[in-house]
Amino acid sequence: MEKQLNSSLTREELAEMYRKMLQIRYFEEKIFELYGQNLVPGTIHLYAGEEAVAVGVCSTLREDDYITSTHRGHGHCIAKGADLKRTMAEILGKKTGYCKGKGGSMHIADFKIGMLGATAVVGAGLPIAVGAGLSVKLRKTDQVVACFFGEGASNQGTFHESINIASAWLLPVIFICENNLYAMGTRQSRVMNIKNIADRAVAYGIPGVTVDGNDALAVYEASQKAVERARSGSGPTLIECKTYRLKGHSRVDPAKYRPKEEVEEWLAKDPIERFKAMLLQTKTFTEAEILRIEREVFTEIEDAVKFAIESPYPAPEEALEDVYA
Amino acid sequence: MRRDSKVFLLGEDIGRYWGGAFKVTEGLAEEFGDERVRDTPISESAIVGTGVGAAITGMRPVVEIMFGDLTALAMDQIANQAAKIRYMFGGQASCPLVIRTPFGAGVSIASHHSQSLEAWFMHVPGLYVAVPSTPYDAKGLLKAAIRGDDPVFFCEHKLLYPIEGEVPEEEYTVPFGVADVKRKGSDITVVATLYMVHKALNAAEMLEKEGISVEVIDPRTLTPLDRKIIVSSVKKTGRIIVVSEDCKTAGMSAEIAAVVAEEAVDYLDAPIKRVAGQDTPIPFSPPLEQYVIPSEKKIIEAVREVV
Is-contact B127 B153, C-beta < 8 A? yes
> Quick check: A211 and A222 in contact, CB under 8 A?
yes
The pLDDT-based confidence of A2 (bands split at 50, 70, 90) is low
> Where is B153: in which H helix or E strand?
strand B152-157
Domain boundary among B160, B191, B213: B160
Picking from A128, A139, A168, the nearest residue to B81 by CB comes out as A128
Examine the domain organization and report whether B75 and B214 are in the same domain: no
**What is the SS3 string spanning B216-256?**
EEECCEEECCCHHHHHHHHHHHCCEEEEEEEECCCCHHHHH
- pLDDT at A322 (0 to 100): 98
CATH number at residue B243: 3.40.50.920
Length of chain B equals 307
Q: Which of B112, B113, B157, B198 is catalytic?
A: B113
- Going by their DSSP bridges, the two strands B240-247 and A145-150 should be labelled as unpaired
User: Is the Cβ pair B53, A130 closer than 8 Å?
Assistant: yes
Of B50, B54, B92, the CB nearest to A111: B92
pLDDT digit string (tens) for A145-185?
A: 999 999 999 999 999 999 999 999 999 999 999 999 999 99
Q: For residue A6, name the pLDDT band (cuts at 50, 70, 90).
A: confident
- Quote the CA–CA distance of A228 and A140 in Å, as a whole number: 16
Phi, psi of A174 (to 5 degrees): -110, 115
SS3 assignment, position B61:
strand
Is the pLDDT reported for residue A289 higher than 60? yes
pLDDT of the residue at A44: 93
Tell me: domain A12-309, CATH 3.40.50.970, correct?
Answer: yes
**Band of the pLDDT at A236, cuts 50, 70, 90?**
very high
Q: Give mean pLDDT, residues B159-184.
A: 97
Mean pLDDT of chain A: 96
pLDDT in tens, B219-242: 999 999 999 999 999 999 999 999
- For the cut 90, the answer to whether the pLDDT of residue A252 exceeds it is no
Residues of chain A positioned with their CB less than 8 A from the CB of B76: 121, 124
Determine the pLDDT at residue A3.
75
Q: What is the mean pLDDT of residues B25-32?
A: 98
What does pTM read for this prediction?
A: 0.97
> Are B217 and B302 members of one domain?
yes
Question: Do residues B31 and B147 share a domain?
Answer: yes
CATH code at B27? 3.40.50.970
Residues A182-229 have pLDDT tens digits of: 999 999 999 999 999 999 999 999 999 999 999 999 999 999 999 999
Q: Could you tell me the residue ranges of all domains in chain A?
A: 12-309
Is residue B281, in this structure, part of any structural domain at all? yes
Q: What is the pLDDT of residue A4?
A: 77
Mean pLDDT of B86-104: 98
Average pLDDT of the segment spanning A244-251: 90
Shared domain check, B140 and B187: no
Degrees, nearest 5: CA angle B28-B34-B38: 85
Mean per-residue pLDDT, A16-36: 97
- Please report residues of B whose CB lies closer than 8 A to that of A100: 90-91
Rounded percentage of chain A residues whose pLDDT exceeds 90 = 95
Question: Residue A7: what pLDDT?
Answer: 81
Q: Stretch B22-39: mean pLDDT, rounded?
A: 97
Cβ-Cβ pairs closer than 8 A, A with B, add up to: 142
Compute the distance between CA of residue B14 and CA of residue B39 in angstroms, rounded to an integer.
Answer: 6
* B115-161 pLDDT tens trace: 999 999 999 999 999 999 999 999 999 999 999 999 999 999 999 99
How many domains, in total, are found in chain B?
A: 2
Beta bridge partners of B154: B100, B130
Q: Note whether B13 and B146 are same-domain residues.
A: yes
Interface pTM (ipTM) of the complex?
0.96
Taking contacts as CB-CB distances below 8 angstroms, the residues of chain B near A322 are 86-87, 90-91
DSSP alpha helix (H) spans, chain B: 28-32, 44-55, 75, 85-88, 118-122, 135-147, 194-208, 227-237, 252-264, 286-292, 296-306
Domain boundary among B97, B131, B160: B160
Rounded CA gap, B120 and B252, in Å?
9
In a domain, B74, yes or no: yes
Let me know whether B195 and B128 are in one domain: no
Residue B1 belongs to a domain: no
Rounded to an integer, what distance in angstroms lies between the CA atom of residue B229 and that of residue B236? 11
pLDDT surpasses 90 at A136: yes
Q: Collapsing DSSP states into helix, strand and coil, what is residue B212?
A: coil
Strand ranges (DSSP E) for chain A?
66-69, 115-118, 145-150, 173-179, 182-183, 186-187, 208-212, 237-242
In a domain, B185, yes or no: yes
Which structural domain, as residue segments, surrounds residue B55?
A: 7-160
A5-9, A217-221, B214-218, B291-295, range with the lowest pLDDT: A5-9
Q: Is B113 a catalytic residue?
A: yes
Tell me if B173 is assigned to some domain. Answer: no
How close is the nearest chain A Cα to the Cα of B263, in Å?
22
CA B294, B135, B41, A67 torsion: positive or negative?
Answer: negative
Q: What is the pLDDT of residues B57-73, one digit of tens each?
A: 999 999 999 999 999 99
